[in-house]
Amino acid sequence: MPDRTPEDHPTYGVNLPDSTIRDIAALVSPDRTLERIQQLGRGESFNNRIYFLTFERACDDTGVECLDDLSTLDHVLKVSGRFWGIEKVQNEVSCLLLLEEYCPNVPAPRVIAYSEQGDTIRLLPRSSGNGYPESVRDLVHPPLMESSTKRPWILMSRCHGTTLDLSQMQGHEKHDTLQQLARYMSQWRSCVPDVQHYGNLLLPDRPDLASRAALKTFPDLPSPTVAGLLDCTLNPSATPSTRLEYQMLRLENQLAQLEATGTLAPSRAELVPLVRRFIHDIVPRLRLFKLLPQTPCFTHNDFAPRNILISRCGAGNAPVVTGIVDFEFAGFFPAEEEFTNLAQVETDWPVEAVEMLFRELEDRGVATPLHGLDGDAWEEVRTLYLVTLNIAPWWLVQGEVAGEGLVQELRAAAEKVREGIGRLTSTVETPSII
C-alpha cells in the first residue's frame, strides 16, 4: 500500500513491516502470542508512527486470566519520525522512568523496551514482585539490523481510554476530571527531584555528560541527565543553567530558523534586525527574570486533550483519567511554561476549563496565573512566548502552508512579533526599538 503521508511530514516513509514488529514482540515477550497489529490512523500522530500490539491474554496455572502484571497488557510501539534522532527516544524513556519512580500514581505508559538505532533492543526486565524495572538488557537480532527502516522506537504499555472531550461532559464531570488532572500535574511538579539546568533529558552515554549531576530512577538503570533542547537546532556550548540563558537560547534558535528557512525569507529584512536588538537590549532587563521562580520544573510540554485518555469506569459510570501520554518533549523548564502552553492553545482548552484547572492547582499549593504569580511578570511571560513562537512559526518552517495562505500567515506572525516587542519594550522604560 502506498504511503499517503505528505512528503514533508516526519512520518513520511517511516513504516515497520509486520514481520519486523513480530520479531520485536517475540524477543521482548517470548512467552506470549502477538494476535494483532493495528496502526494508528494516518494524520493522528504527527511526529511518530504508532502501532498498537494486542497479545493473547496470559493465564495462571488455574486457567484464570492474569490482568495485574505489566507483561499481560497490550503494548504501543512508537517509532520516531525521520526528523528526530535518538535524543527524542532517550528523553521520553527518561521522563517515563522518572514518573514511574517518583509519581507512580500518574497514569502514564510504562517503558518495556526501546531502541536507539532500530537494531539493538534495550529491554527493561521487571521484578515479579513490585513490577518495577530492575535492569537493562541489550538484545541484538540480525533480521532487525537488515530492515530497510532503522528508526529509534519505544515499546510501552498501552493506556486505554478515549481522547478527552470536555464538550461531551456534564458540569460535575468536567470538574471531577480537571480535579484529577490537577492532582497528577501537581505531583510531577513537586515530587520529581529538582535539577540545576533547563532542557530535555539524555541517557549518559556521552563522556561530556559524565560529570553532570544525574537524576536517579531505579537501581541498576541508567541515570538521565538534563542536556540540551530537542527542538533547538543550535548546539550551545553548555546547557542553560539560568532562566535568562534558557530564554536567550530559545530566541537565538528562532532567529537562526528565520535566517535559514526559505519560506520565511519575506520576513527577514524587517524581523532580523528588530529581533537582534530585542535580544541584546530588552530581554535581559525584563522583570520576569527577577520576579518569577528560577528553579526548573518538570513539565509535560504538550498537555493537551489529545494526550489525555478517559474511561468511564468510575462509580456511576463516572469518567476517570486512565492515561496521560506523549511525554516525548517533556523536561525541565520554567515553572510557568506549562501554563503558557495551556493559556495560548484556546482551540484545545476552553478558557473556563483552564481557569478551573488553575483553581484546582492552587488548592494543591501550585502558584498559577490566577493566584500566586506576579501579574505583570505573567503578562511578560505570555508576550515573550508569542514573540518567540512567531519569529519562526514551526508550521511555516515545516512547509505546511503555501501560496497566498503563506503570505497571510507571514504577515500575521510579523505583526505579532512587532506588537509583542513593542509591549515588552515599554515595560523596561526604554525608548522603543520599533
Greater confidence, 392 or 31?
392
pLDDT tops 60 at residue 145: no
Nearest CA among 254, 230, 288 for reference residue 416:
254
Give the pLDDT score at 219: 82
Give the pLDDT score at 127: 83
Of the listed ranges 18-22, 283-287, 420-424, the least confidently predicted one is 18-22
Mean pLDDT of 373-394: 94
Q: What is the pLDDT of residues 265-319, one digit of tens each?
A: 999 999 999 999 999 999 999 999 999 988 999 999 999 999 999 999 878 889 9
Confidence of residue 206 (pLDDT cuts 50, 70, 90): low
pLDDT tops 50 at residue 64: no
- For residue 189, give every residue at least 6 positions away whose Cβ sits within 8 Å of its Cβ, in sequence order, or none: 297, 298, 335, 338, 366
Instruction: State the DSSP H helix or E strand holding residue 28, giving kind and residue range, or none if neither.
Output: helix 18-28
Confidence of residue 61 (pLDDT cuts 50, 70, 90): very low
- Other CB atoms within a 10 A radius of the CB of residue 163 amount to 14
* 66 touches 59 (CB < 8 A): yes
**Where do the domains of the chain lie, and which CATH numbers do they carry?**
18-158 (3.30.200.20), 166-427 (3.90.1200.10)
Give the rounded percent of residues in the chain with a pLDDT score beyond 70: 87
Of the listed ranges 304-308, 371-375, 378-382, the least confidently predicted one is 371-375
pLDDT tops 90 at residue 179: yes
- For residue 337, give every residue at least 6 positions away whose Cβ sits within 8 Å of its Cβ, in sequence order, or none: 297, 299, 301
Give the pLDDT score at 348: 82
* 244 touches 284 (CB < 8 A): yes
Give the pLDDT score at 68: 46
User: How far is residue 216's CA from residue 237's CA, in Å, rounded to a whole number?
Assistant: 25
Distance of CA 351 to the CA centre of its chain: 22
User: How far is residue 329's CA from residue 302's CA, in Å, rounded to a whole number?
Assistant: 7
* 417 touches 391 (CB < 8 A): yes
